[in-house]
Structure 1
Amino acid sequence: MAAEQLVKDGKIAVKMSEITSRIFIEACVKTTGGEAMVQIRDAHTNIVRIEANGEVILEKEEASVEDGHEERPLIHNYTLKQIYEYAKEVPAEEIEFIKAAYEMNYALFEEGIQNPRTTYARYLLEKNGGKIISDDELKTASLLCNAAIEARVIGLDRPAMSITGSGAHGIIATMPLYGVCKIRGLSDETLYRATALSYLICMYIKEYSGKLSAFCGCGIAAGTGMACALVFLHGGDEHAMARTINNMSSSITGMICHGGNKGCTMKGVVAVNAAFQSADFAMHEIFIDDIHGINGFTPEDTMRHMGEIASPGMIGTEKTIVDILQEKSE
């Protein structure tokens, strides 16, 4: 491929700017016809500066920060109880758009079980008795979720519907719920309400951890959202969800991220297992109490602590991960 040849010819250089949970990319291109530079900051699509041959073509001012404090994310103005009540009561037509996520992610899943390049996907299908939807909720959920994740991370030609900027987050937050609803014969509206809850809990944690960090937001943030949505589908209330959050906080928080790769599939397997176990325990009032570890005295505090483990907590971990990856590439 042309891109691989450019690397072999030494025409591409990559350097790390700094370790941070904020996104920053500066790309420079030099040719015989001129030079150009583009900067991206804080979001994957947020271009803040463009230069061409030394001339500034675009420059976007950063949002002002007063007294060293950034503006509070909107989602943090709400409690778990309010998020749960919203998911229950929001007019169905306002969340109808969620249907598109399932259409897209299911097409990706189908590619995963049909393509000969996948391994986890086809074995998970075998473990589920060769059926996409079996009587086993956990096996069905893991198949639907992780066949789609494997298809994504090995680069099969299908898109994923993202949440918080990540396709794998979007898959974990949705596909297990689809399996449960199909097995139980629940309505599309119930599925979309559960998904809205799953998305919002994922967003709540991610706003603390940042878009880039050394912990696996797919498993921890999206997995916790999905676990709360499982409670919703089981008829549980915000108290059962708070117990579920404590169980997730006490189990998989700290699972590292070392880039989007095939390992994301195994992390998805772990996340689905943890979510199902956490929700099941919580529905039976079995949970890790607030006094233990990083669990907070409210579910909002617990979710904040989960995010803070990533940023600033794992900045040193991220440096070590980057050092290892750079060592491997030398």
Structure 2
Amino acid sequence: MAGGLVALLDDVAVLARAAAASIDDIGAAAGRASMKAAGVVVDDTAVTPQYVHGLAAQRELPIIRKIALGSLRNKLLVILPAILLLSQFLPWLLTPILMLGGAYLCYEGAEKIWHKVSGHAESHASVEDALPDEKTIVSGAVRTDFILSAEIMVISLNEVASEAFWSRAIILLVVAIGITVLVYGVVGVIVKMDDVGLNLSQRAGKGVAAFGRGLVKGMPKLLAGLTVVGTAAMLWVGGHIILVGSDELGFHPIYEFVHHLEEAAHDATGAFGGVIGWLVNTLGSAVLGLVVGAIIVAVMNPTVHRKKADAGSEAGAH
């Protein structure tokens, strides 16, 4: 009896170690998958605070909470089941779909740059000043988040496509929840930092008050910096997806060109070869992303503007 109990406990210990190893593997895989989606995550974090700009301070966090719940529903109830079924039954579609998503990222990044250099960004300010109701704000933010969430999940799936079905499901579930908590937790902190700074600036202590004023002044710069980093990351991630995807689909010249540049930089820089090679590959991916995005912007902008003009003329006629 005692021997059987010891054997049972030994088996339980083995199973526990195996489970712990599996959890570690899932955590590591989820971390790798999340890192590949970093460009979209940064952009999502930079975009979301704009939806509560100009609202009453007490409504900011409740609206962000609603957007976060909508984002989680998007990921868990729609996107996750769809991409799991796709990976199980039509895995050959993953690369083309991923490349389409990469092209969208390139377009978004290039369009942000175009708006900045052409002055279109300022022209949207007056439109944003006319704030819609909260329900409209939340639904619009959740629709935008759906596209970004789909990109995050597909990019993450591509990193764990070789895993077994249930491992993929658990890893992507961890990614979906973890990234949603991270993004909207950071967004919540960002949108309340100016309120915290304002409160601190009214305290008696000179050092605390100065720190509070610094927070208030620094938040617009932080948001602007996040936007720049997010734009660069979108071009890099989107360009890299297209670079690798085109090679996997049989078109090798661009990938081989960037790969040769990376190897040359690696060999020429000695101890720093790994870092320099990575930077060259990243720069090459970003340049490709900018080129692809600029082409799409050149095609899309006249079409979109023409449709808006036609809709405006029809509204005027009525």
Q: Same fold by TM-score, threshold 0.5 exceeded?
A: no
> What TM-score, normalized to structure 2?
0.29
TM-score (norm: length of structure 1):
0.28
Q: Which has the higher contact order (CA 8 A, sep 6+)?
A: 2
| Higher share in strand | 1
Q: Which has a greater percent of helix?
A: 2
Bigger radius of gyration: 2
